[in-house]
Amino acid sequence: MKAYSADHIRNIAVAGHGGKGKTTLCEAMLYISGASDRLGRVADGNTVLDFDAEEKRRKSSVSSAMAAIEWNDTKINLLDAPGLFDFEGGSAEAVRAADAVLIVTSAGSGVDVGTQKAFKAAEKRGAAKFFAITKTDSDHRSFYKTFDALKEVYGNKLCPTVIPHMEGNLVKCYVNLITGTAYAYKDGKAQKVDMPSDPAIADMTDAFMETVASTDDALMEKFFEGETFTKEEILKGMRIGVADGSIYPVYAVAGLTAAAIDQLLDGLAGSAPDAQNHAGEKVEYENGETGDLPCNESAPLAAICFKTVADPFVGKMSFFKVISGKLAPDSVAYNPRTGENEKIGKIVTVRGAKQEDTKQIIAGDIGVLTKLSGVKTGDTLCDNKNVLTLKDVDFPEPCLSMAVKVAKKGEEEKVAAGLQRLMEEDPTIRYTNNTETREQVLSGLGEQHLDVIVSKLKTKFGVSVTLEVPKVAYRETIRKAVEAQGRHKKQSGGHGQFGDVWIKFEPCDSDDLVFETAVVGGSVPKNYFPAVEKGLRECVERGFAANYPMVGLKATLYDGSYHPVDSSEMAFKTAASICFKNAMPKADVAILEPIGTLTALMPDDNLGDIMGDVTKRRGRVLGMGPADEPKMQELVAEVPMAEMGDFSTVLRSVTAGRGSYRFAFARYEQAPREVADKVIAERAAQKEE
Ligand SMILES: Nc1nc2c(ncn2[C@@H]2O[C@H](COP(=O)(O)OP(=O)(O)O)[C@@H](O)[C@H]2O)c(=O)[nH]1
Ligand SMILES: [Mg+2]
């Protein structure tokens, strides 16, 4: 590919709801622009962009994919985002690198959650917005129904640009309102046809002209005087409006048959913000000051790693968007996170799975550096004489956790190593060791996300694991103060063993055992105190009723006796543990369960259902009220962690994906009788096994 200057580069994230036709649309853009020689089909598993084995198996994108195409002397970097919420990490990556977001929905759809999420992500990033309404090829699909639904939400900023002329339920041709021409399509090839007389087109033309006029005072004046605009005026108005966020052009297309794709490409190349004027960003300098960094090829380097891939052949691939300066081979760049200088080796551009060597990546462009071991997603590379940090990728937090069971003994380390590699690629995965429940816990964005991780462990690293609901780390405590004796006496041949203690156990407010002594007259010699404490600590670790660690316990050693010859540290340690066992049955031992604070966001209409669900989970609602976002409610509640298992799945299904939540440990609380009984019974059953 030839070299393009930043004003001839467009970085476009293609985002929206899963299954609406994003990948297919990108394939059509690749095909029509000549970047691929056949039109790939998701269903046939032969697309350029869904190249991953997991994507072929599922016939759906699970990660972001990139391909650069050329159109009208412009380089368009397409970033195809996965639509399913479980793979939202990939969408975050794509949007991070984009200057514009092409939001894809299909003819006949309402405003789905994926559309809203993509729109919100674009707003947050300050990216321009385009809409493509695809799948206009098949029968009974209405572009106009979808357009009206979008209009209800996004109002007059919606700018119909290419619209279909329908006869019955079929699209006959596509009308371009910029040029005022109509085209029919066969095998992706456009043929100019006469402008049909269609009242829908007349209405849309008015709407189009008014929206374009709104971008510029001079145009508005012309519009009111009933004058027509020149093509140049329209294009200029669109460019201004798209860049400042006052208009969102809408294109009718059909990815599967590659219809009207050339017009969409014209639109992206013609009115999407160019990297030169848009790619500048906010940065934070070493001294904490912030500033605006314009896109400037000759300035010092600033580049953000927005995506990482562990390629089986190439090794590690780090995707960069260069904001300022350029990345050139055999140069050195500084990583402020690690404080290390990284040597830049090979640079490539990618088209799906294919790589092509390239000389450099200039400000405004996107490219891939290989084998940068010290760089991870979210890192900035810069000049070591001008240290700065760019904004990280806005990844969602993992919300579903499962315990990992390794199928074959001895493969634990292979699993950990495999997950380590997968986490490099996907920062929405977490893998932690819960020392208390002795479980390895895998966290991600949902069931399908975890399912893909398990499948990748198998296919990429050859290890099998299953997932189970993680164990809950319960605690025990006592509710009554008791005193007890522990006497250990053994006479076995020569030397005997003797230790004898009286200890008072009482509830207190501490996670750790509080050990005190109040021995008078040396009934237990001082040098045995540490042994008594050690014996008690071991007991507290093991618990009593269900073998969970005991908290909130104070033990005071106040009496006992010893033998000048037979007493030993060992004997007193044993005596302490006998004392603990004697005391606990009378101390009213209770089970404590961990409670977390839940903060959930959901549409107004779902508040009742989610409250009902939270109550069923033994949750206590602490408060609720309108959230920062319109038509959304925030619910705050305290819920036992043991009950949260499938909350993410329920919230997603009740709110059709609109809901989101955070959940964090708050404290331990006494578990109700039934729960405690169940926990104790489970432990007993485990011991039998
Ligand atoms: N009829 C028709 N089907 C399409 C079109 N675009 C995509 N599809 C189908 O819709 C499904 C989802 O498409 P895909 O591109 O994977 O959607 P994505 O999840 O948004 O990337 C596939 O079965 C496609 O064949 C289109 O323009 N027309
Ligand atoms: Mg896709």
Only one residue has tokens 């991780």, namely 453
Q: Residues 463-513: pLDDT tens digits?
A: 999 999 888 889 999 999 999 999 999 987 777 899 999 999 999 999 889
Asked if residues 396 and 92 have their Cβ atoms less than 8 Å apart, the reply is: yes
**Ligand 1 pocket list (CB less than 6 A):** 18-24, 42-43, 60-61, 83, 134-135, 137-138, 254-256
Residue nearest to atom 23 of ligand 1 (CA): 43
* Domains 400-468 and 591-675 are alike in CATH topology: yes
How do the domains of the chain map onto residue ranges? 6-272, 281-390, 400-468, 476-587, 591-675
* CATH number corresponding to 591-675: 3.30.70.240
Q: 357 alpha carbon to ligand 2 midpoint, in Å?
A: 26
Under DSSP, is residue 570 helix (H, G, I), strand (E, B) or coil?
A: helix
- 535 confidence band (pLDDT: 50, 70, 90): very high
Atom nearest to 141 CA in ligand 1: 1
597 CA from centroid of ligand 2 (Å): 35
The average pLDDT across 256-283 equals 92
Closest CA to 78 of 129, 8, 29, 18: 29
Mean pLDDT computed over every residue of the chain: 93
Residue from 24, 44, 133, 170 to probe ligand 1 pocket by mutation (most atoms less than 8 Å from CB): 24
Q: Measure the CA–CA gap between 341 and 331, rounded to whole angstroms.
A: 10
Question: How many Cα neighbours within 13 Å face the side chain of 383?
Answer: 10
Structure tokens at 40: 């790939």
pLDDT band for 193, please (50, 70, 90 cuts). very high
Cα distance from N-terminal residue to C-terminal residue, the chain: 65
The model's pLDDT over 626-666, given as tens digits with 9 standing for 90+, comes to 887 778 899 999 999 999 988 988 998 999 888 888 888 88
Q: Which fold has domain 400-468?
A: Alpha-Beta Plaits (3.30.70)
10 Å CB burial of residue 515 (0-12, 13-18, 19+) is buried
Under a CB-based contact definition with an 8 Å cutoff, are residues 379 and 416 in contact?
A: no
CA of 139 to the centre of ligand 2 (A): 22
CATH topology of domain 6-272: Rossmann fold (3.40.50)
Is 488 in contact with 497 (CB distance < 8 Å)? yes
Which ligand minimizes its atom distance to the CA of 114? 1
Place domain 281-390 in its CATH homologous superfamily. Answer: Translation factors (2.40.30.10)
Fold of the CATH domain 476-587: Ribosomal Protein S5; domain 2 (3.30.230)
Amino acid at 108: G
Q: How far is the CA of 480 from the centre of ligand 2 (A)?
A: 61
Give residue-wise pLDDT tens across range 335-368.
999 999 999 989 999 999 898 899 999 999 999 9
